[in-house]
Amino acid sequence: MAQPTPLKPVQKSRRQLIQGAAAAVGAMSFAPGLIAQSAPVRVGYAMARTGPWTGGAQVSQEPNYLLWADEQNAAGGLDVKGVRRKIELISSDDRSDTETVVRTYEKLMGSDKVDLVLPPWGSNANFAVAPLANRFGYPFLAPTALSRRLIEMKLPYFFLLLQQPAPMTNALVDMLKANGCKTLACIYVDDLFGLENFAALKVALQGSGIQMIEDKSYPGGVKDLSPVLRSMKDKNPDAFVGFTYPPDTILASKQAKEVGFNPKFFYASVGTAFQLYKNVMTPAGAEGVLGMGSWNGKTSPGAKAYFDAHTKKFGGKEPDRWASGACWAGMEILTNAVKAQGLDRKAIRDYVANTTHKTIIGDIRFQGSENIGTPGTVSQWQNGEFEVVWPPKLATAKLNAAKAAWK
């Protein structure tokens, strides 16, 4: 049987060997790049799913985080400097507890080393975690924090999207003064949010000709506001102002109706802008009620598109007409920052700090931590919509300057 002719060994030149080695090294170095490009962008946050913060958190923030991730992933992923990468959300219930918030974000940023973080709900939680985010170098675009103290801390990685107490109370007092208000009564929750807004209101009232004839603080989780509302009814102020959280806003409104307290201007802050408020009070019952609001579907084409997408995704549940818009604007800013700068968090911070951002609620720009691009506003329920009524140049409807009777 014939034997196969043995193959002669292939002799490679030194140049060929070097080229082969270089190709192998190139392949090895390229493979991790492929892996990195296909790896998801890990985005972490803590959010209230139980406890007293839940009502706000599950309207103004977490639905927007879920919608954002879904929309980006449906488009192939988040654009990271020209490369689409899927978003992986890493989240947990903070139980409306600041200690849990701090522990969770310390783990996300410290040991888990997620790519990006999204803020928790409310002034108290953000106040607790803001220094931590700054220490780890994670940009925070907070859509539900109202605190002058946060601005004064001068944390370069922390940005507040909402209009702060001074511009909001200035707009309110300007509206009241322009419409003949002479007397005012105020309640406020006894925490950072309530105290700062009450202090800002007192400053705004100086020189306005409006007299505060009664004020009263109350503890978080209050179950009965009727005694103070009866006292205020007896003094017959032109305006009622409440710096209240969503459950307290509904409680104050229900009990004001029960005791027959119906001033010309009835303003309750957080939660008035929620669909829940209209549903609980009924559209007729909510008619004429004022509160913190800054946008609706009439504000811009982008706002209308966002409103419709949110309502469709969540089975008819609408975004609120204040902080939800700020939250979505924050997601727009973050998306554009990552597109321009990748996941370099220092570069993202610089982009956020030094850019005028086009958003669904208008131009946003920051001076330190404060959004100075969005002016203070007042909104009012009219015919089933929470209309922006002040200042007139931003209004989507004209102010009804005499609230109808409770129904």
Q: Higher pLDDT residue, 262 or 26? A: 262
Q: What is the mean pLDDT of residues 104-109?
A: 98
Q: Which comes out higher in pLDDT, residue 192 or 179?
A: 179
Model pLDDT, residue 346: 98
Domains of the chain plus CATH, in order, are 41-164+300-371 (3.40.50.2300), 165-295+377-394 (3.40.50.2300)
pTM: predicted TM-score of the whole model, two decimal places? 0.85
Q: How confident is the model at residue 146 (pLDDT cuts 50, 70, 90)?
A: confident
Helices of type H across 141-225: 148-152, 165-178, 192-205
How many Cβ atoms are within 10 Å of 198's Cβ, its own excluded? 21
User: What's the Cα-to-Cα distance from 333 to each of 263, 284, 339, 357, rounded to whole Å?
Assistant: 40, 37, 10, 7
Q: What's the pLDDT tens digit per position in 359-392?
A: 999 999 999 999 999 999 999 999 999 999 999 9
8 Å CB contact between 190 and 242: no
Q: Is the pLDDT of residue 265 over 60?
A: yes
pLDDT at res. 37: 58
To the nearest whole percent, how much of the chain has pLDDT over 90? 87
Residue with tokens 């409306």: 96
Closest CA to 360 of 299, 274, 279: 299
Question: What digits encode the pLDDT tens for the residues 94-103?
Answer: 999 999 999 9
For the chain, percent of residues with pLDDT exceeding 70 = 91
Whether the pLDDT of residue 15 is over 90: the answer is: no
